[in-house]
Amino acid sequence: MDKKRRQIVAGNWKMNLNQRQAIELTNDINEYISDHTIPEQLKVVICPSLPYVASCAGDVWEDTKPIFGVGGQNCHTESSGAYTGETAPEMLRDVGCEYVLIGHSERRKYFNESHAFLAEKVNKALDVGLIPIFCCGEALDIREAGTHEAHVATQLRESLFHLSKENFERVIIAYEPVWAIGTGKTATPEQAQSMHAAIRQLIEQQYGKDTANSVSILYGGSCKPANAASLFSQPDVDGGLIGGASLKAESFTKLIEIMMGEMGNL
Ligand code: PGA
C-alpha cells in the first residue's frame, strides 16, 4: 500500500525499564535506524518513563534525529508552580522531547483526567511546540453496547475540536480500544479500520477533507509483530502506539520493519 501520510511507530514504555535498559533500548533503536534507509515520512517515537526521558532524548544520534523522536507520557497544563509531581510541557521541550502523549486511557482511568483538562493540556503542549499524541478509545462495555463511535466522537469533540485547523493538523491521534490494551486482545483489522475511518470522517466534517487526509491516526492495543502487518495495511491506520512490544529492541524494530514493508520501502 502506498502510504502518503506521516506514518508513525511509537513506543509507550509506561512505568517500565530501568536506566540501563532504557539507554540500551534507545541505542538499539539508533542502530537499527542508522543501518536502514528509512523513508522520511516514517517517524519512530519512544516515550520513556519520566526519569529517563532526558537521557534518552540526549542519546538519540545526530544522524537518526530526523526519524527518531522522544516524547513524554504526560504533561501538565501550567508552565511552572506548586504542582508537586507534575511536569511542565516546557520541561519536556527543554530536554529535547518533540512529542507528548495526552489522554492515555490509564491517565483517564487512574488520574481522572477530564475532557476539559485534556483540552487544556493539548493547548499548552501545542503552545510550547510539542506534538500531542492524543489517545482516545472505548472500554469493553461501550463496545458491547455498540456506542463506541459516539464515545470516541465525544472524546475528540471535547478535547480537540476547539483547535484551529492549523493547530489541529499538528496533532497525532491514537485510537486505543481500552479492552485491547495490555490484554493480548487486539481489535481486528476491520474493527480498527472502521473506527479510524469514522474518526477521519468526523475530522472531515469539522475541518474539511484536506485536514482529514493529512492527520495521522495510530492504532494501539496489543499491537505486536504477529498482527502489525494486517493492522498497518489498513488504509486509515497510519502506524501504532505500542506498549508491551515496544520494550524489547527485537519486537520494536520488527514493527518498524513491518511498517517499512507496508510503505513499500523494503
Ligand atoms: P499495549 O499498550 O501495546 O501493551 O496493549 C498500548 C498502549 O497502552 O499504548
To the nearest 10°, the Cα dihedral for 236, 237, 239, 245? 180
Q: Using an 8 Å Cβ cutoff, are 190 and 150 in contact?
A: no
Calpha distance 17→23 (Å, rounded): 10
Per annotation, catalytic residue among 104, 106, 148, 196: 104
Q: What is the pLDDT of residue 182?
A: 87
257 part of the active site: no
104 part of the active site: yes
If you search the block for the grid coordinates 477530564, which residue do you land on?
114
Q: Is 223 in the pocket of ligand 1 (CB under 6 A)?
A: yes
Calpha distance 56→47 (Å, rounded): 9
**185: pLDDT confidence band, cut at 50, 70 and 90?**
confident
> For the segment 216-252, what is each residue's pLDDT rounded down to a tens digit?
999 999 999 999 999 999 999 999 999 999 999 999 9
Calpha distance 250→234 (Å, rounded): 24
Per annotation, catalytic residue among 98, 113, 176, 262: 176
Q: What is the pLDDT of residue 266?
A: 61
> For the segment 33-92, what is each residue's pLDDT rounded down to a tens digit?
999 999 999 999 999 999 999 999 999 999 999 999 999 999 999 999 999 999 999 999
Average pLDDT score over residue span 249-266: 92
Q: Ligand 1: which residue has its CA nearest to atom 1?
A: 243
**Domain layout of the chain by residue ranges:** 7-248
Answer yes or no: CATH 3.20.20.150 is held by domain 7-248.
no
